[in-house]
C-alpha cells in the first residue's frame, strides 16, 4: 500500500500529518519513528527534535537531560530556557512581579555567578552584604564572628567590628592594648593622650594610669 503525493502511510491509513513521536519521510512516504528522546521531530536523528519527552529538554534541535551553562530545564515546556543575565548557571527563572510578592525571597534563581559577581543565596551581587566577603568560588562567605565587614574569613581579616569590639589593625578585640582605648564612635582602638599609660578616652583628663614621670 502506498499514498499519493503529500500524504504518508500510517499503519493502513494515509495521513497529511504524522502523529507525535513520528515524522513524514518523503522518500518512503511513511510515518517513521522519531529518535527515542523526541516528542516531535523533523527526521529520525538525535539532532532532529522539535519538542522533547518529559524529563529531557530541547536545546537547539537535540533533547538533553542537563541544559548547558547559562540555561535551565523548564519542565513545563521541556525546553532549555535562558538564565537571568547575572547568573552563570541557574535553577529557574527570575522571580518577578506577583510571584516575588507572594512567595518572597530572592528575585533570581542563580546557582553560580559570572566572574565579577558573587552568589548571595540565589542572587548574583557585585558587593556582598555586611558580615560577608567575596570568596574565591564567587560566593558570599561569612566573615569571622567578630567582624562586621571583612576582606576574608579569618579573625585577622576585619575591616570593621561588631558591637562591643574595637578594630586593632585588622582584628577585632574587646580590650584594646595598653596605651590605646576603644573609641565607640569610630569602632577602633585609638591612642591615649601622650601622658597616659592607660585611658578611658583620648583627652588629657581621661587617664586611668600614667606614664613614667607623670602622676595621676
- pLDDT digits 0-9 by tens, 35-44: 999 999 999 8
State in words which class domain 8-86 has. Answer: mainly beta
The residues that bridge with 173 in the sheet, in sequence order, are 166
Global pTM?
0.67
Q: Please state, in angstroms and as integers, the Cα–Cα distance from residue 67 to each residue in 63, 146, 163, following that order.
A: 9, 42, 46
Q: What is the pLDDT of residues 51-98, one digit of tens each?
A: 999 999 999 999 999 999 899 999 999 999 999 888 999 998 876 544
User: Which residues belong to CATH 2.10.220.10 in the chain?
Assistant: 8-86
| CA angle at 43 for the pair 22 and 1, rounded to the nearest 5° | 55
Amino acid at each position: 500500500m502506498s499514498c499519493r503525493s503529500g500524504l504518508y502511510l500510517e499503519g493502513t491509513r494515509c495521513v497529511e500529518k504524522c502523529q507525535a513521536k513520528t515524522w513524514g519521510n518523503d522518500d518512503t512516504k511513511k510515518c517513521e519513528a522519531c529518535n527515542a528522546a523526541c516528542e516531535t521531530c523533523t527526521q529520525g536523528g538525535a539532532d532532529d527534535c522539535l519538542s522533547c519527552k518529559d524529563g529531557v529538554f530541547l536545546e537547539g534541535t537535540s533533547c538533553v537531560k542537563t541544559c548547558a551553562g547559562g540555561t535551565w530545564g523548564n519542565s513545563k515546556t521541556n525546553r532549555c530556557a535562558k538564565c537571568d543575565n547575572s547568573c552563570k548557571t541557574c535553577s529557574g527563572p527570575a522571580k518577578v512581579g506577583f510571584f516575588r510578592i507572594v512567595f518572597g525571597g530572592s528575585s533570581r534563581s542563580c546557582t553560580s555567578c559570572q566572574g565579577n559577581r558573587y552568589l548571595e543565596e540565589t542572587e548574583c551581587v557585585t558587593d556582598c552584604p555586611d558580615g560577608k566577603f567575596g570568596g574565591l568560588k564567587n560566593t558570599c562567605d561569612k566573615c569571622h564572628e567578630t567582624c562586621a565587614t571583612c576582606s576574608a574569613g579569618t579573625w585577622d581579616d576585619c575591616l570593621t567590628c561588631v558591637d562591643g569590639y574595637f578594630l586593632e589593625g585588622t582584628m577585632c578585640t574587646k580590650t584594646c592594648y595598653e596605651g590605646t582605648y576603644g573609641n565607640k564612635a569610630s569602632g577602633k582602638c585609638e591612642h591615649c593622650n601622650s601622658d597616659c599609660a592607660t585611658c578611658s578616652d583620648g583627652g588629657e583628663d581621661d587617664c586611668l594610669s600614667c606614664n613614667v614621670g607623670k602622676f595621676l
